[in-house]
A and B are shown apart, each in its own frame.
Chain A
Amino acid sequence: MKKRLLRFAAIALSVMMIVSLAGCGSKGKSSSGGGDADKTITFWNIGAEGVNKVLLSYPVELFNEQSDSGYEVEFVATQNDSYKEKLVVAMSSGECPDMYTSWSGGPMNEYIESGFAQPLDDLYEKYGLTDRLMEAGIAQSTYDGKIYAVPTYNISVAGTYYNKEMFEKYGLEVPKTISELEAVCAKLKENGITPFALANSTKWTGSMYFQLLAARYGGLEPFQAAVDGSGSFEDESFVYAGEKIQEWVEKGWFPEGVNSLSEDDGQGRQLLYQDKAAMDLIGSWYTGTLKSDSEEFYEKVGWFPFPAVDGKEDNLPIALGTVGDQFISFNCEGDKLDAAFELATYFSSEEAKAKDIENGYLPPTPDVATLVDDPISQQVLSTIADATAVQLWYDQYLPPAVADAHLNTCQELFGLTTTPEKANEVLQAAMQEYLDEK
C-alpha cells in the first residue's frame, strides 16, 4: 500500500514537472495577437535609467492620465547595451511587444521585413503628426516609401565641442576648413594638449571622424552608391577619410591608447575636464551630458560643425546624425494600434517637449528652435535647418553585418593595424556579401 502511494507520488511529481515545463513553452503565443479583452499595451524601451528613463516614461504617464482609449501601458525598460539582443530574442520566440523603440536604420529594416512593424501613414494623417514632426525625422522613420516609426525626443547630430578658454589662451580660431583644423591641432599639440578627446573602445565614436571626413570630401553620393551596389566603399572619399585619420593618429592628435578608452565610462570627456584635450567630435546629446556633469565647465564650452575639406565647401551643409532618436515602432493592430499610436503622439505634446528641453534634449519638432535658449543647442538646430541632408550614422544605417565590418575596420584604422585601402576592401566585401544575398 505504502509502496503504491510512493509510486503514485513519484509519477504525479514527474507529470507535474513536465506539464509545468510545457506551460513555460507555450505561454507567450496569446500576447502577440492583440485580442479585444487584452487592454494592456506592452511598451519596450531603453528607459532603464537617467535621462532616458525620465523622457520615455513621462509621455506614458501623460497617456495614462489623459487618454480615454481605455488602454493601459506596461512600461518595460531594459538597459541600453542588452536591449537590442533582448528584442531579437523576443521577436524570434513570437513575443514581440506591442510597441518598442529602436535606433531606426538597418535593424529597424530587419524588424519591418520580418513583419514586426506596421505602416503608419494613415495614423500620421489621423493624428496630424506630419505637421508636428520634422521632415528629416519622418524621413528616418520611412522604409520603402512608407512610414513605420515615430521619432520621439532627441535630435543629435555630430559636431565638435571645444574648450573656448583653451582656444583663447593659444590664440586659436574656430576652424572652417580641414587645413585650419589641422593648424589648430598642430598648435595644441605643440603646447602639450591632445587635440581630440576621443574614446574609441566603443568604436562608433571614432567612426564619426570617418563618416564626416568621407562626407565632407565626396558628399553623400559615394556612400549611397556603395550601399545600393552601384558604387563601392573603395571610392576615393573613403580612402581620404582613412588616410586623414591615420595621418592624425601618427601626429598624436588622438589620446594615447585611444582604442582602449571607453566612451560609455566617460573616459573621452574626462580628458576635456582635466584640460588634457581641447576638442571632442561627438553627437549633440553631449550638451545635456556636459551640462549635467558640470555647469561650470559647460560655460567654457563652444561648438562648431565639422569643417569643410578645402575646395569642397559645397559638402559642408551635410549633417550626420539622427533626428528624433528612439523611434517607436508598433507590432499590434486595430484599436490597440490606434491607442499605442496615440501614446506615441504624446511625445510631441507641449508638456513632453518642455521636459525634453529641460533635460538638454531636442525634440524633433519644427518649432523646437523657438523653445530652446541654450546657444549650443541653437547652433545645432540651425545646422540641421540649413542641412542639405541628414545622414543617419553609418553604424545604424547600414545593414547590421556591414555596420559591424565598418566599426571594426574603422577601429583598426585608429590602431594603425590596417591600411585605408585594406580597411575599405574589407568593408566593401561585407557590403558585397550583403547585396549578393539579398
Chain B
Amino acid sequence: MKKKSEALALQRNKETNRVAFLFLIPVAVLLILYIFYPIIDAFRISTLKWNGISPNTTFIGLDNWIKLIHDPHFWSAFKNNIIVMILSICVQIPLGLAMATFVEYAGKKSKLFKIVWFIPMLMSSVAIGFLFQYALATNGGIISSVSSLFGGGNIDLLGNPDTALFTVIGVIAWQFTPFYMVYCVAAYTNISTDLYEAAQLDGVNKRTYFAHIALPLLAPSLKSAAILSMVGSLKYFDLIYVMTGGGPGTSTELMSTYMYKMSFAKFNMGYGSTIASGMFLVITIISLLTMRLLNGKGEEK
C-alpha cells in the first residue's frame, strides 16, 4: 500500500516536471530569441568592422575592445551615467519614501496627493522631454519668463554644459519619484497593523515608530528599489535623447546615447556593439557588487 502511494507520488512528480517543462518552453523561446541571442550576437558583432548595412564584414578581433578601453568619450559617458545613478538614488528614493510616508500617515485625506503625485508616471518620457524643453526654453519658456519678470534675464539651463546634465536629472527625478512613492506605499501595506497598534500601546510616538520600526521593516524594499534605480540609471536613454541629444557638445552623453549614435548615425555598428557589450559588462558587474554588498550587510545583522 505504502509502496503504491510512493510510486504514485513519483509518477506525479515526473508529470509535474514534464508539464512545467512544457509550460516553460514559450517563455524560454522568447528569452532566448530576444534576450540571450541578441546579447551573444552583440558580442560577436563587437569583433567585426562593420558599418551596419554592408553585407561585407571584417573580423578584427579585439581591436574594438582595445579602442573602447582607451575611448575618452565612452568613459566620460560612463561618468555621466554614474552621476545620474548617484543623484537618482539619492533624490528619488528618499523623496518617494517621504511622499509615501506622508500619504500613509495622512490616511484617506491624502487621496488627492496620491493621485496628483502619480500623474508624471503616467506620461510618456518623450512627452515629458518636450514639455520640459518648452518650459526651459530661453525664448519664452516659463523659467526664463519668470526670471525676466524679476529682472533676472534669461536662464539657460539646457544649453549650458555645466547645468544641462543636472537639469535633465531633475526632470528624470520628477518622472520617477512617483514610482518609488508607489513602491514604498506598497511596502508599507506589508507591515502588519498589529505592529503599529502594539507600538502605540507601548507609548511609541510616530517619529520613533518610523525610525525604529517601520524603516527597518522597509529596508529590504528600499534595497531592491535602489538596485532598480541603479540599473535604470546606468542604461538610461530617453529623456537625454529627447531633451539634449547628448549636447551641448557631448556634455550630457550617456553610454546608451553614445552607443545609439555610433551604431545608427555614424555607421559603425561594430563599435556600437562593443559599447553595448561594454555597457552590459559594466552594469552586470556593478549590480552584482552592489547586491553582494547590500546582502552582506543584511546577513551580519
User: Interface of A with B (CB < 8 Å)?
Assistant: 7, 10-11, 13-14, 17-18, 21, 84-85, 88-89, 91-92, 96, 107, 110-111, 113-116, 200-201, 203, 255-262, 265, 267, 270-271, 276, 399-401, 404, 408-409, 411-412, 415, 417-418, 437
The 4 closest A-B pairs by CB, nearest first: A260-B159, A257-B138, A257-B156, A114-B54
Q: Nearest residue in A to B56 (C-beta to C-beta)?
A: A114
A151 to chain B, nearest CB (A): 22
**Interface 9-mer from B82-90, B94-102, B247-255:** B247-255
Cβ contact of B138, chosen from A18, A261, A404, cutoff 8 A: A261
Q: Which residues of B contact A116 (CB under 8 A)?
A: 53
Contacts of B266 in A (CB 8 A): 400-401, 404
B267→A110 contact, CB < 8 A: yes
Chain A nearest CB from B8 CB (Å) reads 15
Q: A256-B138, A257-B159, A404-B261 are in contact. Are A411 and B267 (CB under 8 A)?
A: no
A260 and B136 in contact (CB under 8 A), knowing A201-B159, A417-B249? Answer: yes
User: Does B105 reach chain A (CB closer than 8 Å)?
Assistant: no
**Docked complex Cα distance between A1 and B120 (Å):** 54
Q: Which residues of A contact B248 (CB under 8 A)?
A: 201, 259-260, 411-412, 415, 417
Question: Cβ of B157: which chain A residues have Cβ within 8 Å of it?
Answer: 260
Q: Are A92 and B249 in contact (CB under 8 A)?
A: no
Q: Considering the chains assembled together, what is the distance between the CA atoms of A89 and B267 in angstroms?
A: 11
Q: A13 — which chain B residues lie within 8 A by C-beta?
A: 26
Q: Is the CB of A14 within 8 A of B26?
A: yes
Assuming the contacts A114-B55, A203-B247, A411-B248, asked whether A261 and B159 have C-beta atoms less than 8 A apart, the reply is yes
Chain B 249-286 near chain A by CB (<8 Å), digits 1 or 0: 11100000000010011111100000000000000000
* 16 A-B pairs with C-beta separation under 8 A: A18-B29, A91-B52, A96-B53, A107-B267, A200-B159, A201-B248, A255-B139, A257-B144, A261-B138, A261-B159, A399-B267, A401-B268, A409-B249, A412-B248, A415-B161, A417-B248
Give the contacting residue for A411; candidates B55, B133, B138, B247; CB below 8 A.
B247
Candidates B56, B137, B155; contact of A261 at CB < 8 Å = B137
A3 CB, min distance to chain B CBs, angstroms: 8
- State A271–B140 Cα separation when bound (angstroms): 10
Question: Would B54 and A418 count as touching, CB distance under 8 A?
Answer: no
Contact at A14–B25, with CB atoms within 8 Å? yes
**CB of B184 to closest CB in A, whole Å:** 35
- Whether A84 touches B264, Cβ cut-off 8 Å, given contacts A110-B51, A114-B55, A409-B249, is yes
Point out the residues of chain B lying under 8 angstroms from A200, CB to CB: 159
